[in-house]
Structure 1
Amino acid sequence: MDCPAQHYAPSPHTYTGLPDLDYPFHDKAVTVTTCGRICYNRKKINLSQVFAGQTVGIKQVEDHIWLVSFVDYDLGYFDDETCRLEPLQNPFGPKVLPMSPV
Structure 2
Amino acid sequence: GAYPGEIYTPSPRVYEPPREPDYPFHDRIVRVTRCGRICVGKRKINLSTVFAGQTLGIREVDDQIWLVSFMHYDLGFFDKETDRVEPGPNPFAPEKL
Provide TM-score, normalisation by structure 2. 0.81
Alignment RMSD (CA, Å): 2.2
Aligned to 1:84, the other structure's residue is in SS state coil
In structure 1, runs of 5+ residues without a counterpart are none
In structure 1, the partner of 2:40 is: 40
Q: Deviations over 1:22-53 (max 9, x none)?
A: 21110000111111101112111111111111
Provide TM-score, normalisation by structure 1. 0.78
> What is the count of residue pairs matched by the alignment?
96
How many percent identity over aligned positions?
56
* Distance across 2 between alignment mates of 1:73 and 1:30: 15
* Distance across 2 between alignment mates of 1:71 and 1:97: 22
Q: Which runs of 4+ in 1 moved over 4 A?
A: 95-98
In structure 1, the partner of 2:67 is: 67
Q: Is the 1:64–1:81 contact (alpha carbons within 8 Å) kept by the matching residues of 2?
A: no
